[in-house]
Amino acid sequence: MTVRRRVPFRAKRHASPHGGTAHLSGFASLRIRNYRLFAIGQTISVVGNWMQNIAVGWLTLQLTHSGTVLGIVTGARYLPVLLLGVWGGLVVDRHDTRTLLTVTQICFAAQAAVLTLLSWAHLTTLPLLVLLMLTIGFTNAFDNPARQSLISELVDREHLANAVAVNSTCINTAKLLGPGLAGLVIAALGVTPCFALDTVSFLAVIASLHMLRTAEMLPAQREVRAQGQIRAAVAYVCRTPELLYPMVMVYVTGVFTWEFPVSLPLLTTSAFHAGPSGYGAAMAVMSAGAVLGGFVAVRRRRLGTRSLAVSAVIWGTLICAAALAPTLAVTLAALLCVGSASITFNSSAKTLMQLTAAPQMRGRVLSIWSIGWLGGTVVGAPAVGAIGATWGARSALLVGGLAASGIGVVVLAMPRVRPVNRR
The domain ranges of the chain are 28-213+230-421
CATH architecture of 28-213+230-421: Up-down Bundle (1.20)
More confident: 64 or 41: 41
Mean model confidence pLDDT for the chain: 83
Name residue 393's amino acid: A
User: Which band of pLDDT confidence, cut at 50, 70 and 90, is reported for residue 10?
Assistant: very low
User: Which band of pLDDT confidence, cut at 50, 70 and 90, is reported for residue 421?
Assistant: low
| The pLDDT of residue 423 is above 70 | no
User: Which band of pLDDT confidence, cut at 50, 70 and 90, is reported for residue 292?
Assistant: confident
Mean pLDDT across 130-151: 90
Mean pLDDT across 138-162: 87
CA distances from 256 to 154, 172, 250, 385 (A): 33, 20, 10, 11
Name the residue among 258, 42, 272, 252 with its Cα closest to residue 146: 42
Q: Which long-range contacts (CB under 8 A, 24 or more apart) does 299-303 make?
A: 299/23, 299/26, 300/161, 300/165, 300/348, 300/422, 301/23, 301/421, 301/422, 301/423, 302/419, 302/420, 302/421, 302/422, 303/161, 303/348, 303/351, 303/352, 303/355, 303/419, 303/420, 303/422
The pLDDT of residue 96 is 87
Cβ-contact 376, 407 below 8 angstroms: no
Cβ-contact 66, 389 below 8 angstroms: yes
| The pLDDT of residue 15 is above 80 | no
CA distances from 362 to 101, 305, 373 (A): 16, 19, 16
| The pLDDT of residue 179 is above 80 | no
